[in-house]
Structure 1
Amino acid sequence: MEALEEQIAHLTRTVDDLSEVIARQEREIALLTRRVQLLLEREAEREQDQGGSIALGDERPPHW
């Protein structure tokens, strides 16, 4: 019986630890999602300010 109680305690601790990890990851994913959205909005504004032209880094070289 004592072995089962120890195992339950261990499993409970593991579940609690995993729950904390998942909560932290959820917060981090939400933060990263917001940052990506801001970057996409900034890029869209930058492209609009440039008149929708293609950035030189995105153009194919003339010899292609």
Structure 2
Amino acid sequence: MALEERITELESRMAFQDDTIQALNDALVAQQRVIERLQVQIKELARRQEEASGQFGISEDEAPPPHY
């Protein structure tokens, strides 16, 4: 294999790897956005549950056992 062919092959591989890395990075960024949005939603749901239990006067000590 000539040196020029080897260099061309290596450049081709490098370009493919760069594309793959960029695609993986894009997927990771998208997943992180979803995780952050879900964390915000969980915090909001926890806040709402605390407000609802306070509004109805239910504390964890007074709650019925889970089998009821």
User: Following TM superposition, where does structure 1 have runs of at least 4 consecutive aligned residues deviating by more than 3 angstroms?
Assistant: none
- Structure 2 unaligned spans of 5+: 1-6
Q: Which residue of 1 aligns with 2:27?
A: 21
Question: Greater Rg, structure 1 or structure 2?
Answer: 2
**Deviation of 1:49 (Å):** 1.0
Runs of 5+ in structure 1 lacking a partner? none
Same amino acid, percent of matched pairs: 22
What is the correspondence of 1:1-64 to structure 2 with a 5 Å cutoff? 1-51=7-57, 52=59, 53-54=62-63, 56=64, 59-61=65-67
TM-score (norm 1): 0.81
1:17 to partner: Cα distance? 0.2
RMSD: 1.7
Count of matched residue positions in the alignment of Structure 1 and Structure 2: 59
